[in-house]
Amino acid sequence: MPLQKTRPGTVHKVRPDISVLADSLEVPGIGHLPVNAFVLLAAQPLVVDTGLGLPDRNFVETLSTVLDPADVRWIWLTHPDRDHTGGIFDLLAAAPEARVVTTFVGAGILSCERPLPLDRCYLLNPGETMDIGDRTLTGFRPPLFDNPATVGFFDDHSGVCFSSDCFGAPLPTAELARADDVRDVPLDDLRTAQLLWATVDSPWVRTVDMDKYLATFHPLKDRKPDLVLSTHLPPATG
């Protein structure tokens, strides 16, 4: 049987030290869902999530267009769903000094598929911080999530917020899903798609106390990030 051809990844440099590894997945009847991973070229290089686990994807190969995978020191796993963990074990093999940043629950869920060596885990909960040499990352629970292990973060060096699934939206085409700026999507279309995504991905939001829920946006409002990078949306500036 011939080997399946690897589908090349799309890479956008959104800051001198931050790149988006952009991918997408067609959802029949819905549209094309962006599936992004990210690279921070910090003093201790960090990768955020590891893409789709599909036979025609090679996450480490795409990553190698940004930096040598062996140089990666941290893999921030926003949560252990399969659209975030596709290349994680290949990357752990290619980056022998890298450790996975996750929660206790996240490590447990990921280990259901394949044991994750505990000496390669770094447990971090919302509200906690970590120093990666030239910047401090502060974990937070995004206002919308579909997995209890979800932890996004703020980068104090770049002013960027990494929001995991929060703010995601299925888009009409693969080209839009892999775009380098969400402003390529008409505003009304974007709002409709984000409401759809929130309803499907985080259905619990319709049952919670509205005042308590709105309070979960305070960390974002207080930080005023210059850029929001969601796994499931093109980069959003301002």
pTM here is: 0.95
Q: What does the pLDDT read at residue 5?
A: 54
Q: What Cα–Cα distance (Å) separates residue 4 from each residue in 55, 221, 226?
A: 7, 45, 40
Cα separation, 121 vs 68, in Å, equals: 21
Cα separation, 96 vs 127, in Å, equals: 28
pLDDT digits (tens, 9 = 90+) for 47-57: 999 999 899 99
pLDDT band at 174; cut points 50, 70, 90: very high
Query: In percent, how much of the chain has pLDDT > 90?
Result: 94
pLDDT band at 166; cut points 50, 70, 90: very high
Instruction: Summarize the confidence of residues 96-119 as an average pLDDT.
Output: 95
Cα separation, 197 vs 187, in Å, equals: 15
Cα separation, 125 vs 117, in Å, equals: 19
Instruction: Summarize the confidence of residues 31-45 as an average pLDDT.
Output: 98
Instruction: Summarize the confidence of residues 55-75 as an average pLDDT.
Output: 97
Domain range list for the chain: 10-237
Instruction: Summarize the confidence of residues 142-170 as an average pLDDT.
Output: 97
- Output the CATH code of domain 10-237: 3.60.15.10
Residues 6+ apart with CB under 8 A from 85: 49, 50, 53, 77, 110, 113
Cα separation, 206 vs 95, in Å, equals: 41
Instruction: For residue 225, give the 3-state DSSP assignment.
Output: coil
pLDDT digits (tens, 9 = 90+) for 178-194: 999 999 999 999 999 99
Q: Which tokens belong to 177?
A: 């899903």
pLDDT digits (tens, 9 = 90+) for 112-133: 989 999 999 999 999 999 999 9
> Residue 3 pLDDT > 50, yes or no?
no
pLDDT band at 237; cut points 50, 70, 90: very high
pLDDT band at 6; cut points 50, 70, 90: low
User: Average pLDDT of the chain?
Assistant: 95
> Residue 1 pLDDT > 60, yes or no?
no
> Residue 64 pLDDT > 70, yes or no?
yes
Q: What does the pLDDT read at residue 41?
A: 98
